[in-house]
Structure formats: structure tokens, C-alpha cells
Amino acid sequence: MLSVRASSLLVVGLILAACAPLPLPVSPSPVPFVPPFSSPTLSPTSTPAPISPPATTAPPLPEAPFENRIFRQGETYILQYQDARTRLQYRYTPATGSLNDLQVVVGDEPPFLPSNYGGPLFFVEGDDIPIWETEPEWFASTTRIVQGSILEVHWQARLGQETIPYTYRFSIQGKTLRLEVESPSTALSAFTLDRSEKTPGGRILTVPYLPLFNLLFYRQHFLSAYFDWEMTGASRLEPMNEVISGQSLAFSQTAHYLPNTAGERRPLHEVVYLTISGRLEEVLPRLPASPSPYLPSLEGKTLLDLWAERPFAEDARLVQELARRGIPDLIVLRHNWQRCGYDDCYPSVLPANPRWGGDAGLIELSNAARQAGYLFALHENYVDMYPNSEDFAPDLLALTPQGDPVPAWFNRTTGIQSFLLSPPRSREVATRFSPEIHRRYNTGAVYLDVSTAVNPSDKVDYNAAVEDNARLRTPLEAYRQLLEYERQARRSPVIGEGGHHLLYAGVVDAVLAEDAGRQQPGAQIPPLVHFDLLRIHPHTVRFGMGFYPWYFAQGEGPKWFGYTAEEHYRYMAYEIAFCHGAYIPTPDSLGEDEQMIAFVEREVMLVAPVHRRCAQARPLRILYRVNGEMAGVERALAEDQPWQVFVEYDNGLQVWVNLHPTEDWPVTLPQRPSWASGSALIDGGRQDFVGAPAFSSYILPPNGWLAAEWP
């Protein structure tokens, strides 16, 4: 092993004094009263204090003053964080060329490996060789400290007749170890963060609305390790979620570099953030986003999701009936309106389907929505292209590395396979159809299918003739440009299909909040609200908790209808815990007319007023009830009691939500609030309420909640 040894111990200190945490109010602060059914003006509005997007996706710096140092002890380089209470060390001893050389030490705890054999996969003579199948004598390195703060390690791997160079650059920012890795060679087919080692009792933690990677929860510490998706050169970023052994867990990501149709592979370049902290919010990525200009206009609205295959005139009558009953502030979204039907013939969607009433019928539905004061939106798709469309053009399709069209959605009803429209061409196709859709049907909002739902890794064009081919950042930027085009061209909010919407926060104005990362029905997921509330919430409105059939899935199949009142309460309780806007699934899944109307009235009455109050507020505190006491999420997870959550916002709003399957939660307030909304046990039975309450003590049953504010 070749190394460069410093002539003396190098100690570099950096002290960063961060701002002190905001003081919490002793008692709830006042907030102006907003009538439950007021309707804000729909127009883009600048927020009072715009948030500057971060330069990277790195987790935030700690709030308390701290010191970062980089120094050497023998053959080991130490990148250290220290504050008044905590010492954290990342210890790197160059030996193997892999991240097996990296250990983490927290205080006096035993060291562990965050990335056991993380590192490159080498593509040599047609074979992929992972770094754990190499020998140390194949590697040589030189090491130096650059600019007093960066540990730079140049590696050379000798595999067969090839010598493959690559470079690690380590630095520390707060509690985050930043690793930049790059190589001029195209003989690296992947870089993996592999799995932890020496972490007995660790758990993989899946965080709602963070589908890109998972966390490791170990000894009441949270560990995140991920690639900066704004800087990656990879074709794919794949999350891992696998327990390897009792002390080894694969929780992070692998970056893959695939060849384009000419067989060319991009050189490796990645930035990795590895952060350990006892506070969950300190390991979560930031989002490079600015707030949507439509946040004020969308607060308190309800998304009505129309999927039924029925005449437009029937939906028009439904909209008129809801307006007659005083249901306010709806966004009326019709999905299956296209000429050939839903998920067919795209992008050739015009005119409207004659089976459901054609253009005249769809205009009638649009008029009914506008006359009621509702927004009207239609489903649009500029991702999937169907071969039975007269606008189908093979030269518009994305290609696999083998040169075949990339399959997209398969319509099981028609048996037709669609193909991926090359993402850089999506805006071009949208300009041909979207303005005419708006002109004909007078839409007041746009619903874009797929683009904000999918991992951009799955939408990469490997066509060597396309600029920036074989990179996941290309579809990511293309879909952002599509969203921005739709917002500017239509002068209206853009609503997306949820899933990977964190990547588009602020560019998409709102989403139907499907959670792409969950591996079980949403109704069984603990309300770990931190990433959604602290990162996505300031930028984008989220409606609902995802599609009802999958949220309440049973066994292997979705639940298409027959939702009980208790299931509805559970869904609403989640919406309120996460500060999501009200959402009404397709009404034909909700039972007979009066059942459906009761469902709509309950959703709008109970969820929309809370959303109106929390939509632009900033969470100050997030706590959980653990053994009768309020505690942080760290203790809630350690004791497996993350089901009863409390959120306090900076406008004084306080929210208690009980998602425990069996336990009640008694809540006693210091004084009667001026306004409250909730569902609680009163005189032995569940009662819903909105307005000036008569009580200061409540018992929240399972799927019950209380939201309150004071004068």
C-alpha cells in the first residue's frame, strides 16, 4: 500500500456557531379566525419570507454551536464533530480501497462500519467485479490533506491488465461526512454504499414520503447515507432494504452506471452524505426547492377525484348537488375523459370521449364546476406514448441500452403496451396538446400523471443520439421543465401524481400524496411525519394520503370499495397528522348517494379547516405519547410507541392525533380554545366538532384527533 504520511500531527479546527433554536411559546400564540368555509383567491402569491433553496441536499447543520476538526493518529485520519454534549468521529484508515476502511465512533460506544464494503464495482473484460471480491494488494493509494479541511485519497486498482484510478475526497460539515468520489475511467459500473456491519440490534427505518433510501436506527442514533441526486452522474439510484444478519443491514443506495446504445459508459462522479445523529431531523435530506406560489390559494381546498366510467353529465349533476349542499372549495378532477379512454392512445386525447358525451358533455362538467366556484382539472400524461396513437413516432421514444423502446405502462384492459416518451421531448409534446385542452374545456388547474410519481431512474433514455443520455438527472430536469411550462402556460396550479414528489417540491404546486416508499398498506404505517412536514410541507400542498384502494389494501389485493366510517376516520386522522389537504376518492366507491354525500360532508367539514390553518405554518415541535408522557421520536421508536403524535405550529395551532389501534388518548388543555376541530369521545360516543368548543378536556379514541387554537 503506497501512502503519503504527514511529517507531523495535523490538526485543523473549524468552529461554526449556528443560530440558537427558536424559543417555544409558553402558551399558544394568537391566530386570526378563519371561517371554516372561506375561499381564498386562486392566484400565485409570493410568500412573505421566501425560503432560499439549499445549495445541496445535505442534511442541515446542527443548531447548537459545534466544532469540526480533521486530524491524524498514526495511519488513521479522523474527521470529528464535537459540541457541548456529543463527540462523533469518522475514522478512515486507507487499506482496501473500499469503505470498509471507514468506522464511526459515537462518544465511548463501540465503533461500527456504516458501509461495510461500500465502493466501486469494476467492469473489466466484460465482467463486473465488486470491490469485496478484490485483494488489498491490488490497490495502491496516496493520501493528503487539501486546503486544511479535505482528506483526499487517490486510489489505483490493478485488475488484470487494467489500472483503474479513482479518488475519494472526505470532508465534514456539522455531523455529516461528505464524500466526493470520481474517476476519469469508464470501467466502473456502479458505486454501492453496501451494508452496515457491527450494528447488532439495528433496525431499518422507512420514512414516509422518502422513497429514495432508508435510515438505520441503531443505539437510538439515526444514520442516513445517500447520494446527492442533484449532483449524481449515475443512470440509476436504487434503494436497499434488506437485513443481512443480526448485525448487518442494507439500508442505503447503490448508484449504477449503465452504457448507452453506443456502449459508452459515463465516468463515475458522486457526492455521498453520511450523517449520524440522535435527532431524526438532523439526518434527513434538505430539498433544493422554493415554495410554490400557489400555496396560499390551495390551502383548505379539497380534491374530488372522479374516476368512474360514466357520462360527463352525471358528474356535472354530482358537482351541482355538492354545490347545492354548500360544499366549498373543491378541485374537480376528471381522469378518464380522453378520446380513446383512460390510458390509451396517448398523446392523442382530443376530442373528449364520445362514449361519455364528447366535448359538449365535458364542457358541461367544466361549466358546472366553474359555476360552483370550483377549480376544474383534467388528467394529462406526457410520459407514456401508445402505439395506437396517430401521433405515435418511434423517434420520440426513449431507448434501453440495447436499443429497444423502453416499456412504460401496460394497459391490462386493452392489452396495449405503451412506451416511454423520451423525457427531453415531453415538454415539446405537451405544447402540442396542453394549450388546446385548456382552451376547449376551460380548466383552472392541471393534473399531470406519472412524471412526479416515478423514480427518474426508471425513465432514463439511453439513446446515444440524445444529449445527456444515460443519466437520471436528465429526466429529472426534463420533468421539472414540463411542470414549470404547464404552470406558466396555463397560469394555474399544477397538481401531480404523488410518489417521488420530493424531487419536484415547489415546482409542482400540489400532489395527490401517494407514498412510493411504503411496503405495506398506508393505514398500517406509523405517523412519522418529520420528513413530510419539515421538508416537503414548506414547498408543496399534499392532498390525501394516497389512493384508497392501496391505502386500505387487504392481503395482496387493493380494496376497491366498501370503506367503513372507521376507515374514513383513520384516513382523515392521517391527513391531519401530516397536514394534508382533504381528498375524496371516486364517489362511486363510497356507496349509495346519501352515504357518499355524508362521506364528502365529513371530509370537507373536518379536514379542510385544519388544513387551512396549518398549510402555511411551520412545525415547531413534533412529539409522541410514550407510556403516558410526551417524548421525542427517538424514544417513541426505541419503545415502539410511535402512534400518538402531537404537532405544534408557529402560528399557535396545536394538533393531537391518535392512531393507536386500541388505546384512547386523554388530552386536557390549560384553557378552553377559541377554535377547535376534532373527533373525540364525548358522553361515551364519538362526536365530530368544528368551531368554538364547549370543553377543555377530550378523550381521543383510536383514529381520533384534536386541533385547537387560542385567542
The residue whose grid cell reads 379514541 is 701
What per-residue confidence (pLDDT) applies to 153?
A: 98
pLDDT digits (tens, 9 = 90+) for 498-550: 999 999 999 999 999 999 988 889 999 999 999 999 999 999 999 999 999 99
| Residue 3 in this model has a pLDDT that exceeds 90 | no
What per-residue confidence (pLDDT) applies to 2?
A: 32
The answer to whether the peptide bond before residue 110 is cis (omega within 30 degrees of 0) is no
**CA–CA dist 575, 537 (Å, integer):** 13
**CA–CA dist 141, 199 (Å, integer):** 29
Which of these CATH numbers, 1.10.3470, 3.40.50, 2.60.40, 3.30.1380, describes 619-709? Answer: 2.60.40
Radius of gyration for the chain, computed over Cα atoms and rounded to the nearest angstrom: 27
**CA–CA dist 193, 501 (Å, integer):** 24
Q: Which long-range contacts (CB under 8 A, 24 or more apart) does 155-161 make?
A: 155/97, 157/97, 157/120, 157/122, 159/122, 159/124, 159/129, 159/134, 160/124, 160/125
CB 483 within 8 A of CB 504: yes
| Residue 367 in this model has a pLDDT that exceeds 50 | yes
What per-residue confidence (pLDDT) applies to 354?
A: 97
CB 163 within 8 A of CB 116: no
Q: How confident is the model at residue 7 (pLDDT cuts 50, 70, 90)?
A: very low
CB 212 within 8 A of CB 252: no
**CA–CA dist 100, 222 (Å, integer):** 20
What per-residue confidence (pLDDT) applies to 28?
A: 27
The residue whose grid cell reads 500500500 is 1
Query: Mean pLDDT across the stretch 138-163?
Result: 94
pLDDT digits (tens, 9 = 90+) for 258-314: 999 999 999 999 999 999 999 999 999 999 989 999 999 999 999 999 999 999 999
pLDDT > 70 in the chain, percent: 92
DSSP three-state, residue 177? strand
Query: Mean pLDDT across the stretch 50-78?
Result: 86
What per-residue confidence (pLDDT) applies to 1?
A: 31
What per-residue confidence (pLDDT) applies to 161?
A: 87
Q: Which fold has domain 295-614?
A: TIM Barrel (3.20.20)
Query: Mean pLDDT across the stretch 134-155?
Result: 94
What per-residue confidence (pLDDT) applies to 684?
A: 85
Q: What are phi and psi of 85, to 5 degrees?
A: -120, -20
**CA–CA dist 546, 562 (Å, integer):** 17
Surface-to-core class of residue 147, CB atoms within 10 Å of its CB (0-12 exposed, 13-18 middle, 19+ buried):
exposed
pLDDT digits (tens, 9 = 90+) for 209-268: 999 999 999 999 999 999 999 999 999 999 999 999 999 999 999 999 999 999 999 999
Q: How confident is the model at residue 37 (pLDDT cuts 50, 70, 90)?
A: very low
Helix/strand/coil (H/E/C) assignment for every residue in 608-620: HHHHHHHCCCCEE
Helix (H) or strand (E) holding 437: helix 426-441
640 Cβ contact list (under 8 Å, min separation 6): none
| Residue 53 in this model has a pLDDT that exceeds 60 | no
pLDDT digits (tens, 9 = 90+) for 382-416: 999 999 999 999 999 999 999 999 999 999 989 99
Q: Let me know how long the chain is.
A: 711
What per-residue confidence (pLDDT) applies to 49?
A: 35
pLDDT digits (tens, 9 = 90+) for 549-577: 999 998 778 999 999 999 999 999 999 99
Summary mean pLDDT of the chain = 91
**CA–CA dist 226, 503 (Å, integer):** 14
Q: How confident is the model at residue 468 (pLDDT cuts 50, 70, 90)?
A: very high
pLDDT digits (tens, 9 = 90+) for 11-23: 333 332 332 222 2
What per-residue confidence (pLDDT) applies to 54?
A: 60
Q: How confident is the model at residue 9 (pLDDT cuts 50, 70, 90)?
A: very low
| Residue 373 in this model has a pLDDT that exceeds 90 | yes
Q: How confident is the model at residue 585 (pLDDT cuts 50, 70, 90)?
A: very high
The candidate with the shortest Cα–Cα distance to 292, out of 543, 582, 37, 616, is: 616
What per-residue confidence (pLDDT) applies to 660?
A: 97
Cell of 167: 479518488
Structural domain boundaries in the chain: 66-282, 295-614, 619-709
Tell me the CATH class for 66-282: mainly beta
| Residue 630 in this model has a pLDDT that exceeds 50 | yes
- Side-chain half-sphere of 293: how many Cα atoms within 13 Å? 11
| Residue 47 in this model has a pLDDT that exceeds 50 | no
Helix/strand/coil (H/E/C) assignment for every residue in 182-228: ECCCCCEEEEECCCCECCCCCEEECCCCCCCCCEEEECCEEEEEEEC
pLDDT > 90 in the chain, percent: 88
